[in-house]
Amino acid sequence: MAKTQTAKAATLSKAELEEELADIERRALDGLEGVRVPDGLAARMQTFLGRNGEMNRALEHLVDLPKAERAEVGRRANELKAHLETAFAARREAIEAALLEGHLREEALDVTLPGRPVVRGRVHPAHWMIHQITKIWAEMGFQVYLSREVETDEFNFTLLNMPPHHPARGEVDTFYTTDPQVLLRTHTSPGQIHVMRERAPAPIRVVLPGMCYRYEQVTARSEIQFNQMEGLAVGQHITFADLKGTLTAFARRLFGAPVATRFRAAHFPFTEPSAEMDIECFVCGGVGCPVCKGTGWLEVLGCGMVHPTVLVNGGYDPARFSGFAFGMGPERLTMLKHRIEDIRTFWGNDLRFLEQF
């Protein structure tokens, strides 16, 4: 008996249900203009139009009405729901527009303020020197030839007249891979063999820039990685006089026309005869200073006539062909030209140093 009385108390008539729906509409729209944030609007929509909201709970009483009244109240409920959805959508657009306007007002760009300077990138000083050197050699008729940095023991040593157990191998600390026949090149000279084998028996005039690697103690004057610029000329009737004239012309273009040069006897396994070229110190003019260690001269490169064994390994007959080769360090030339005292600054990524160039 108690359950029957409770069910009757929960039953609503048509008039009562319509009044309930009208009350829901009134409360849903009352204060809607005062909602300022999206989260508040979403919570309000959930309260009145959500799955468990007041609208759906009120419509549960439709089953208590006669069929004719049920259809009429149902149409009224659908109209009310559509009206509330339209009102909530309009309020959502108004809130979003207000928020956007506020953001634009707060983040407004004052075009009268001075602009921030655009920081321009710069070419690394070592690469700048490589570009300068390459440009000079290109003007002198030399092509650029790029060779690989990972080499075999054969190309890095054996074919350059340094067979196994040659004393010159002990002078270079080499980075070997897990394969003892594969290594990081210690100089750009292996590129000489590659280019000769590609172009023999045609004449050659090339420069070979690239990075080299040696397992050495890092100091102010030595690094484990460094750039090198190799040069090679092969043809008929090339003499040491051609070597001296070519390198002297290069030095005058790089350091200035008045610069004096000298050649000193040296030894390299892949050239014979070999020499080192010095230029007159451009700081003291040859008088002697700390930069040139009081000698008046600065060492800039090593050179020599291509060894006959290297010519044979490259595919050239030394009875018909001769050639010269040279090698220089762009970082060292940059240090000399700009009086930089520590080679480690090239790879230290210190902007105070790099921005000077």
The answer to the question of residue 26 being in a domain is yes
Claim to verify: residue 26 and residue 138 sit in the same structural domain: no
Q: Are residues 290 and 248 in the same domain?
A: yes
The position carrying tokens 């207000």 is: 98
Tokens of 269: 């396994």
Residues 98 and 151 in one domain: no
Residue 115 lies in a domain: no
How far is the C-alpha of 351 from the C-alpha of 334, rounded, in Å?
17
Write down the pTM of the prediction.
0.65
pLDDT of residue 4: 38
Q: At what angle do helices 67-106 and 14-29 cross, to 10 degrees?
A: 0
Q: How far apart are CA 298 and CA 261, in angstroms?
A: 9
Of 75, 73, 56, the closest CA to residue 65 belongs to 73
Bridge partners of residue 299, in order along the sequence: 278
Which residues span the domain enclosing 136?
125-354
**pLDDT(2) > 50:** no
Residues 64, 129 within the same domain: no
Is 116 a member of any domain? no
Query: Per-residue pLDDT tens for 286-310?
Result: 788 777 788 889 899 999 999 999 9
Work out how many domains the chain is built from and give that number: 2
User: Which two three-digit tokens encode residue 88?
Assistant: 């909530």
Inside any domain, residue 235: yes
What letter represents residue 272's amino acid?
Answer: E
**Given this model, what pLDDT does residue 10 score?**
61
Quick one: 133 and 220 in the same domain?
Answer: yes
Are residues 28 and 176 located together in one domain of the fold?
Answer: no
Residues 101 and 231 in one domain: no
Max Cα–Cα distance, the chain, nearest Å: 128
185 CB burial (10 A radius; 0-12, 13-18, 19+): buried
Please check whether residues 99 and 130 belong to one and the same domain. no
Q: Which residues contact 164 (CB under 8 A, 6 or more apart)?
A: 158
pLDDT of residue 6: 37
Amino acid 295: pLDDT = 87
Query: In this structure, are 40 and 138 located in the same domain?
Result: no
In a domain, 23, yes or no: yes
Confidence of residue 249 (pLDDT cuts 50, 70, 90): very high
Q: Is 254 domain-assigned?
A: yes
